[in-house]
Amino acid sequence: MQVSTLIWTVTIALILGLILIDLFTSSRKAHDVKFKEAVAWTVFYVSVSVAFGIWVWSYFGSTFGTEFFAAYLVEYSLSIDNLFIFVIILAQFAVPSIYHQRILLIGVMLALVFRAVFISIGAVAISAFSFTFAIFGAILIWTGIGLYKHWDEDPEPNDNLMVRTLRKRMSMVDEFHGSKLFIKISGKRFATPMFLVIIAIASTDLLFALDSIPATFGVTSQTFLVFTANAFALLGLRALYFLLKGLLDKLIYLSLGLSFILMFIGVKLMLTYAHEVFHNVPKIPTPISLAVIATILLISTVASLIKSKQHPEMKAHPGRVTGHKEVDDK
């Protein structure tokens, strides 16, 4: 897949343009996001993503088009799991609801930066060493098993190592002061809870980047598709949060389904490496990967809604393992 400098430039400009639209429209003034607004922005971002995928399909061919949609589906499903963590962070730090969308936008922008860095590193590693596929596969299988073991548990953001360290070493106030990260009292600078929230969001983004990038490389080895699938999935994350905020608790088996998806992609990457060494070892075709991922998501969603209806007291959990270590870093 040959992607010209012009296409890269136009694509990055499109992504930056979407961020600016968000900054100067819905996120310009702090406010509570209503359901209709969340629906409108979600439909907008999904439509843009689908349109981009159709363009990839028509310009680069059906193979790469299928790979983009598979990568986008993986990232979008992992993003929903990311939302669980955001909900817990915002709740445990008691962030006023009018600041939720601004914090989420910062979180999305940080996630884009982290993932761009990891995508670059991953692309270089894969091009230099085919064994990188096996390493990525092992990471995803390990992560999937860990998530499977702890799929019905919640992380504790306040026990995050970075948050604990900052609480000990910085002077802090207990009250929010608008969206300010720092304030001055009697000439001395204090950090606000908003600063800790941003740190918790950033560290969560970092851990999710460590998982999601290998997962995306598991369905496509094309750097352009990995980057764009991540970017378009993340851009719609903020609107999706407000759309699903009342429904997240009902997705009881989503984390369990994601654990199987991660393990499946890990096996796929292992087979990809084995195919490079022993050509008689088959690879899992992208259309099959797309079908398996979609099927797991459908089953976990339907099963969740049925279980939630039968047992309304049951709540969904994000699971405690989101990377090579637990979120709470204990």
pLDDT tens digit string along 255-270? 788 888 888 888 888 8
Q: In the predicted model, what is the mean pLDDT of the chain?
A: 79
Residue 248 lies in a domain: yes
Residue 26 lies in a domain: no
Asked if residue 51 has pLDDT above 80, the reply is yes
Residue 12 lies in a domain: no
Confidence of residue 155 (pLDDT cuts 50, 70, 90): low
Confidence of residue 325 (pLDDT cuts 50, 70, 90): very low
Residue 321 lies in a domain: no
Residue 264 lies in a domain: yes
Residue 22 lies in a domain: no
Dihedral, CA atoms, 108, 137, 303, 318, nearest 10 degrees?
-40
Q: Are 307 and 294 within 8 A, CB to CB?
A: no
In the chain, the number of structural domains is 1
Triad 289, 85, 312: Cα angle to 5°: 85
The SS3 of residue 191 is strand
Q: Are 260 and 144 within 8 A, CB to CB?
A: yes
pLDDT mean over 127-149: 81
Question: How many CB atoms neighbour CB 105 within 10 A?
Answer: 17
The whole domain housing 269 covers 33-310
Asked if residue 329 has pLDDT above 50, the reply is no
Buried b / exposed e over 275-312, threshold 16 CB at 10 Å, is beeeeeeeebebeebbebbeebbeebbebbeebbeeee
Residue 326 lies in a domain: no
Q: Are 237 and 83 within 8 A, CB to CB?
A: yes
Using a pLDDT cut of 70, give the percent of the chain over it.
Answer: 84
Residue 319 lies in a domain: no
